Structure formats: C-alpha cells, structure tokens
Amino acid sequence: MARKSGHPREVRERAVALVFEQVASGVYESQWAGICSVAAKVGVSTESLRRWVRQAEVDAGARAGTSSEESAELKQLRREVAELRRANEILKAASAFFARELDPRLPRS
C-alpha cells in the first residue's frame, strides 16, 4: 500500500512532468538519467521520484499495475468490509443474548 508522501501534490506532479518532458525531448538518453537530474533539482530522493514516475505511468495506462484510483477504491472497500464485519459480530452477539432471554426453557441471567 502506498505511503503518504511528505511532498505536496503539486511538487510531485511537476517533477514527474519534468521527467517526461526532458526524456521525450531527448535531453537525457534514459529515463533514469532524467529522474536523477530532476530529483536533484527539485530536492527529492531519486527513489521517491522514480516511484512517482512509475505510478504516473500506471495511471496513464502505459505500465501494468494498480492505478491510484483503483488503490483508493480498494482501500475504501476494505474499510467498509471491516466495518460491516464488526457490525455483523455485534448483531450476532445481540441475537444470541435476546434468544437466551426469550427462551422459556433457560434460566434468566
């Protein structure tokens, strides 16, 4: 799961755009060279910028993987499932409690 970056979204987006622009224009012979250069200029680690570039490629459909939108949706659905499971456990416990209370064969608690 992706961690929350300490850099503003605008900085991430601009750094990724710079990498794509410079590689496409032929300033650098490889994407890695562009990433190293832009990371130094922007003041972020090369690994952070590399991950941002890879995620941008996934989001654009140029690379296989889980897009940011899909990740956010999956995270939300997992939260909902956990909440529903907790509610289900509460309902089961309440059901068992009331079943014991209403059963005339069992002593009252």
For residue 14, what are the domain limits? 1-65
User: Does residue 24 share a domain with residue 53?
Assistant: yes
**Domain edge (last residue) among 65, 82, 97:** 65
User: Does residue 78 share a domain with residue 59?
Assistant: no
User: Does residue 3 share a domain with residue 44?
Assistant: yes
pTM value?
A: 0.65
Q: What's the total number of domains in the chain?
A: 2
Residue (of 80, 74, 83, 61) closest to 1 by Cα position: 74
User: Does residue 71 share a domain with residue 41?
Assistant: no
Separation of CA 63 from chain center: 17
Digit-coded pLDDT (tens) for 54-87: 999 999 988 888 888 999 999 999 999 999 999 9
User: Does residue 90 share a domain with residue 43?
Assistant: no
Digit-coded pLDDT (tens) for 20-60: 999 889 988 899 999 999 999 999 999 999 999 999 999 99
User: Does residue 2 share a domain with residue 51?
Assistant: yes
Backbone torsion region of residue 16, taken as left when φ is above 0, otherwise alpha when ψ lies between -120 and 50, otherwise beta? alpha
User: Does residue 2 share a domain with residue 31?
Assistant: yes
